[in-house]
Amino acid sequence: MLRLRSALPLLLLILSATWFGGCDSSTGPSGPAGTGAELPAGSYFIQYDSDDLYEYEQYFVVQPGYHWEFVEYGYKPDSKTLCQVTRNKGNYSSTDSTLSLTLVSGGASVEKCGMTQADFKAYPFETVPDEAPQAFPIRHVTATSFDGKDLFEGTPSGWQTYAKKPDPYGFF
């Protein structure tokens, strides 16, 4: 699995995700950010990874008002002490089978063992240049999960189910 640590353009590709079941005849992006049905808010688990320093969990967080955020938590395996965070955020639009994501801001990995909610809120976001939205197929949206096809780098190719999982640190 790939750990996300830097490059904002790469993160847009990695973030590519989420939902809205059914089928439609649209083949292009679903329109400007803030159009289509608003998706169920919550944190959706993407993947888990580890290295010799930390264990990592990645989440796609859907927020009200057509906003999304990607967050990667790096923590000490023995204590779950939060030591690393990477975040990116943007806007989305949707149709019944497509989700279009636009990256608005992001940042590099921040490391501080014992990170608090105040540290999390102070994360240094930087605005990214205007990015074209990227569209991804979605289906089977429920209140607790969705299927996405080839949404996140480092996950198996094809359709995958992403399930809602509470933010382990309670920051969202």
Q: Each residue of 23-66: pLDDT tens digit?
A: 333 344 445 577 887 889 999 999 999 999 999 999 999 999 99
* Helix residue spans in the chain (DSSP H): 8-15, 117-121
Distance, in Å, from the CA atom of 36 to the CA atom of 68, rounded to the nearest integer, reads 15
What share of the chain in percent tops pLDDT 70?
81
Over residues 64-82, the pLDDT tens digits come to: 999 999 999 999 999 999 9
**Model confidence at 16: pLDDT above 70:** no
Per-residue pLDDT band for 21 (boundaries 50, 70, 90) equals: very low
Among 155, 109, 153, which residue's Cα sits nearest to residue 10?
Answer: 153
Return the higher-pLDDT residue of 171 and 18: 171
Q: Helix or strand or coil: residue 13?
A: helix
Task: Compute CA distances 154 → 30, 38, 58, 151, 165, whole Å.
Answer: 25, 27, 11, 9, 19
Q: What is the pLDDT of residue 31?
A: 52
119-122: long-range contacts at Cβ-Cβ below 8 A with a sequence spacing of 24 or more? 119/85, 120/85, 120/169, 120/171, 121/171
Q: What is the pLDDT of residue 121?
A: 96
Q: What is the pLDDT of residue 32?
A: 59
Full-model pTM:
0.80
